């Protein structure tokens, strides 16, 4: 059973993932595309569509691997924020990095109780195996 904190973190993960998808599409098609009229870089939003269903359904495995995959978008945001000095693209890069941080924190906080339970179960199993091998 989920607690209130996990529910907020789940909705935060969904919201930030959807926000990141929209952010990437708007950035590369409307707000600050590399080429006038949009660029093929808009396809960077496509991989974010793959885990959307799993995150919505609270799939633990999906939340785990997306918390690592999303760091690529953090890297891109920081690099473009740092290198595109004084332009809208720089601000959009820092915004992307911020959205990724929200997703990462929400995903990790949602998964935290599951990680604790898995560690406890593994410890109990190891203790049980140790007791049985001593006899």
Where in the chain are the domains?
1-29, 58-134
Mean pLDDT computed over 91-114: 96
pLDDT attached to residue 86: 80
pLDDT tens digits for range 62-90: 999 999 999 999 999 999 999 988 889 99
Q: How confident is the model at residue 135 (pLDDT cuts 50, 70, 90)?
A: low
Mean pLDDT of the chain: 91
Structural contact between residues 89 and 133, judged by C-beta atoms closer than 8 angstroms: no
pLDDT attached to residue 125: 82
Mean pLDDT computed over 93-114: 96
Which residues fall within 8 angstroms of residue 100, CB to CB, at 6 or more apart? 16, 20, 70, 71, 73, 74, 77
pLDDT attached to residue 114: 86
Q: Rounded to the nearest 5°, which phi and psi values hold at 78?
A: -65, -45
Q: Rounded to the nearest 5°, which phi and psi values hold at 51?
A: -85, -5
Q: 113 or 15: whose pLDDT is higher?
A: 15
Give the number of residues written for the chain.
135
pLDDT attached to residue 1: 61
- Calpha distance 75→60 (Å, rounded): 24
Reduced to 3 states (helix: H, G, I; strand: E, B; else coil), residue 60 is: helix
- Calpha distance 70→97 (Å, rounded): 10
What counts of helices (H) and strands (E) characterise the chain?
6, 0
- Calpha distance 27→92 (Å, rounded): 7
pLDDT attached to residue 46: 96
């Amino acid at each position: 059973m989920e607690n209130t904190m996990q529910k907020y973190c789940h909705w935060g993960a969904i919201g930030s993932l959807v926000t990141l998808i929209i952010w990437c599409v708007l950035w590369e098609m409307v707000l600050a595309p590399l080429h006038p009229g949009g660029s093929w870089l808009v396809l960077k939003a496509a991989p974010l569509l793959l885990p959307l269903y799993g995150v919505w359904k609270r799939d633990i495995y999906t939340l785990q691997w997306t918390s690592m995959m999303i760091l690529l978008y953090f890297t891109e945001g920081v690099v473009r924020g740092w290198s595109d000095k004084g332009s809208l693209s720089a601000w959009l890069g820092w915004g992307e990095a911020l959205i990724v941080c929200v997703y990462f924190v929400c995903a990790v906080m949602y998964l935290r109780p599951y990680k604790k339970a898995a560690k406890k179960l593994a410890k109990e199993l190891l203790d049980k195996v140790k007791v049985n091998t001593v006899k």
